[in-house]
Chains A and B, each alone.
Chain A
């Protein structure tokens, strides 16, 4: 059994290519059944997200045939000319395929390192494949292992802890100042895209009251139509400032819209409750020295981006630790895979030897005359002893090869000379998967 993976992701293919080869959820069952033909490919799973399309398969044949089959399948299914996306496709075999799966599920291969969605997406793909009946012993061993590796990475490294976007950093800071955002009031000055995104994040975090103030009234009212908000004129700003806990400023202009004195004047009215000012406009529109006031926290776009950079750096550092965990898990998995594989082979090998020995015994029995039970037992012991002594070096070598993961090469060829054994193995695996 060989595990192969063919796919493309955000690094190897632009979105035009990814969307061309993506699978819709409802076509997955049929696609899976078409992929798994039972001869070249015996197990299969398709992972299709906006950042990657990957086909994971198990083949009893040579890896090249399986890779060809998957590529042909992808082209046929999506009705694209063969070799159209040759350059975008990567292929991994065996140990490399396992490592790739582990890294993908642990979010080490994601566009945003450590993002949590991929875990659920792979889980979903696995469930789909199980439902379609295209998962056998090997994938049933691989996927659960990948999930537990991802969980280990999550608990033993801090890869997913630091926030990595400007708006989520702003929300996190707000939480560090106010604890609960429930019932807080947000004042939005201006109506930039990033400001809107931050407001969405804050609303999702429980903020209830929203005040919007903009130079052009229509723009503010258009925003207010999306969220339950109160629209203020820019002139009324100083009066309403005291009501706000969080101010997001994202306007253009030449003069500060909020001056230090105005902020200072609002603080006693607020009974010194903290005020969080987020100035994401360039040039800055809140007087920077306002941040020196007591209980006022002023962050500009550079401050926020600096935090994002630090956090990304932190994730990369944690990812390096995660790679070590993955490396270790890959070796463990390969060993258990080989054990899984070699068990039935060895059993078939022994069975075949015993069949031969007892066959010979029956053929020559008529020359032996009637045997006492003791003689019968001695004869069996004799045959078993010969079989065991004969088989032992081969079996020991198979076990060793399984442990070391080198079963692919000459040991396997040697076994395949025993054509009956290979047949027996295929009979067994096909009967167990039905």
Chain B
């Protein structure tokens, strides 16, 4: 079964190498077709692995570290493909995204695949809203991660343009406005997914045993994150916040999200 995951890992690494070569030689044609093929192959194996894991355990593969990382990498790959379809300059983001996906798959491969479930969780895991909730949250993380990377690319590019010393970043990165657009799209996507994820999360909370959740700080954190992104989205849409400071907000927002996620894992919670 892990062969599928190994295959996916190889496909993602291959896609990354193709991207490096095509960016280096400035071969947009190669980037479009071949890259899609490699990522598609990786994602295919990856999806089959997740489905088989789900069938085997009788629930979504989101319990062990292995499963969570595999699922997260899958969501990132899905969103990267979506973004590539809607924005022509998105492929260069792959220079950062593909190594992260590959790293997550690698972590999934080397970590343990099994974890004992607390009895109470079994009920939660069978609730129909759970797959939706998890799916939305994973896609939200993927969106915020790409928004973060786009913001990072924006800041690097902006720094070169301001300093007037034009180097490799100037040559190979997309323009400021492309980075801005990629970040903006990813932010909106992530925010939409987070909203849906929290919505379905509330349903889950409502239906499950209240003792189990015991007024969790993680839930509070999730709401704080949501409020933060709400403010950011509002100011970008209404007041035209953009550029350096707006990019920095995306970076802060992602770090907060990542902190929520990591603490959720540390306290053995599912999110």
Contacts and interface: CB of A to CB of B under 8 A. Distances in A.
Q: Do A and B come from one complex?
A: yes
A175 B170 CA distance: 11
B166 A294 contact: no
Interface in A269-321: 271-274, 291, 294-295, 297, 299, 303, 306-307, 310
A297 B26 CA distance: 26
Nearest to A173: B161
SS class of chain B's interface: helix, strand, loop or mixed?
helix
Contacts, number: 51
A155 interface: yes
Interface in B218-248: 239-245
27 contacts: A161-B26, A175-B175, A176-B170, A176-B175, A177-B176, A178-B175, A178-B176, A179-B89, A179-B175, A179-B176, A179-B177, A180-B177, A271-B239, A271-B242, A272-B240, A272-B242, A272-B243, A273-B242, A274-B176, A274-B243, A295-B242, A297-B161, A297-B162, A306-B164, A307-B164, A307-B166, A310-B166
A336 to B, nearest CB: 28
Interface in B185-226: none
Given A176-B157, A306-B164, A272 B241 contact: yes
Contact of B178 (A179, A271, A297): A179
A308 B57 CA distance: 63
Given A177-B175, A177-B176, A310-B166, 11 more contacts: A161-B171, A176-B161, A177-B161, A179-B176, A273-B240, A295-B242, A295-B243, A297-B161, A299-B164, A306-B164, A307-B166
Contacts of A310: 166
Contacts of A161: 26, 171
Contacts of A155: 25
A155 B243 CA distance: 35
Contact of B174 (A179, A271, A274, A291): A179
A303 B162 CA distance: 11
A271 B164 contact: no
Interface of B: 25-26, 89, 157, 161-162, 164, 166, 170-171, 174-178, 239-245
Nearest to B244: A294
B248 to A, nearest CB: 11
Taking residues whose C-beta sits less than 8 angstroms from the other chain, chain A's interface range is 20 to 34
Nearest to B24: A158
B46 to A, nearest CB: 32
- Residue among B25, B174, B178, B243 with most chain A CB within 10 A: B243
Nearest to B176: A177
Contacts of A297: 161-162
A291 B164 CA distance: 11
Contacts of B245: 294
Interface of A: 155, 161, 173, 175-180, 271-274, 291, 294-295, 297, 299, 303, 306-307, 310
B21 to A, nearest CB: 12
Nearest to A270: B240
Nearest to B166: A307
Nearest to A297: B161
B163 to A, nearest CB: 10
Nearest to A169: B166
A177 B166 CA distance: 13
Given A155-B25, A303-B164, A306-B164, A176 B244 contact: no
A175 B245 CA distance: 22
Contacts of B162: 291, 297
B161 A271 contact: no
Contacts of B161: 173, 176-177, 297
Nearest to A307: B166
B237 to A, nearest CB: 11
Contacts of B176: 176-179, 274
B181 to A, nearest CB: 8
Contacts of A303: 164
Contacts of A177: 161, 175-177
A295 B175 CA distance: 13
Contacts of B175: 175-179
Contacts of B171: 161
Interface pairs A-B: 3 shortest CB-CB? A271-B240, A179-B175, A295-B243
Contact of B177 (A272, A274, A294, A299): A274
A295 B241 CA distance: 11
